[in-house]
Structure formats: C-alpha cells, structure tokens
Amino acid sequence: MGVEVAMASASISTPALMTADEFGKRPDPGHPEELVRGEVVAMPQPNRRHGQICAQGVYLLRRYLENHDLGHVLSNDAGVITERNPDTVRGADLAFYSYARLPKGPLPASYGPEVPELVIEVRSPSDRWPSVLAKVSEYLDAGVDVVVVLDDDRRNAQVFQADGETRVLDADNALTLPAILPGFSMPVRRFFE
C-alpha cells in the first residue's frame, strides 16, 4: 500500500507558475484578479464607496494635470509588475506615471517594465493592515517613489516614501507630493467627498 501512495503522490504535478505576460493575455474572468508570485489570486469586487473614492482621486489628479501636463493617471486596477521570477502583478487603484517613464500618447494594451512614481490605494473595510503594508512594501521595492493609502474609516492618508519616510495626514492636512507633482496640494478630506 505504501508503494501505491508514493506512486499516487508522484503523479500529482504542481501547476506551472504564470508570467506577467501570460497573465495579461488571459481572457477577462469577469472579476478582479492579481498575479501573486506566479499564481492567480481572485480579489473581492470593490464596493461602491471604494469606487467613489477612486473616482474622486482620478478627478483631483486629472484637474491638476490639466494645467501641469506631466504624465498619465491610470485607474481601474491597472496592472503594475512588482516582482519577477516568479512574477507579481498588482492592480493599483490609482497610479501616476510621468512622461519620463511612459511617453505621452496612448499606452500599449499590455503590462510593461515601467513602474509608476505614485500609487494610491484605497483601503477597503476587509483589508487587514499587515496585507496593506506588505503591498506597500512591494510597490516601494519595485521602484514606486510614493504610495498613499487612503483610509475612509479613519478619514486619513498614510504616505509611504521610498526613502523610508512615513507621514499620516488627517482630513484637514494637505497632501503634497512636490518631487512628483510640483504645486499639487489637496486637503485629504477632498478624496473622501
């Protein structure tokens, strides 16, 4: 009986890890997913409030960029490759890429090696801080300069910088990102309106 068990377990194969390119070419499954170290992970569908905060963030950044043509704002969980071999593709709620990183004009319908200067994540009620902080570290390790986590429950923004500096801004503090978006200054509460 021991030989049969050994043979049965030997015939079980581990699925091959997926690359970012393979992940990007798959048909849309109809629900959010990320690629985490080569494995597809289903994500919960964001709720309406999450979508509202994301839309407000896009609106505020686009308004600024109308007068400061510096780059692209992406949303809707646009994929950012944060790790290679095995690959991880995270869906950023909002991302800003300067034209220095992604040239002006329509972007290709694929993932690329470029990482954004800025990622904004909206913390959902189901998000646990250890997993949020792990994702923040992934973005920073991949080369993102600043990650902002908007927390609707606390009505604050936590700002994590690649140099290790961390700031917590309450609703009345202004979010400024002078190295990325010169002159941008927005009260944190505006993201939650």
Instruction: Write down the mean pLDDT value for the chain.
Output: 91
CATH number of the domain that 180 lies in?
Answer: 3.90.1570.10
Please name the helix (run of DSSP H) or strand (run of DSSP E) that holds residue 174, with its range, or none.
Answer: strand 174-177
Range of the domain at 60: 2-192
Return the pLDDT at 12: 61
- What was the pLDDT predicted at 13? 59
SS3 of residue 81 by DSSP: strand
Q: Report the 10 Å Cβ neighbour count for 65.
A: 16
Residue 178 pLDDT more than 70? Answer: yes
Mean pLDDT of 52-71: 97
pLDDT at 10 over 70: no
Q: Are 172 and 188 in contact (CB under 8 A)?
A: yes
164 burial (CB, 10 Å; 0-12 / 13-18 / 19+) is exposed
Overall number of domains in the chain: 1
Judge whether residue 80 has pLDDT over 60.
Answer: yes
Please write the tens of the pLDDT for every residue from 112-156.
999 999 999 999 878 899 999 999 999 999 999 999 999 999 999
Q: Residue 171 has what pLDDT?
A: 97
Question: Where is pLDDT greater, at 80 or 124?
Answer: 80
User: How much of the chain is helix, strand and coil, in % rounded to 5?
Assistant: 30, 35, 40
What is the structure's pLDDT at 70? 98
Q: How confident is the model at residue 42 (pLDDT cuts 50, 70, 90)?
A: confident
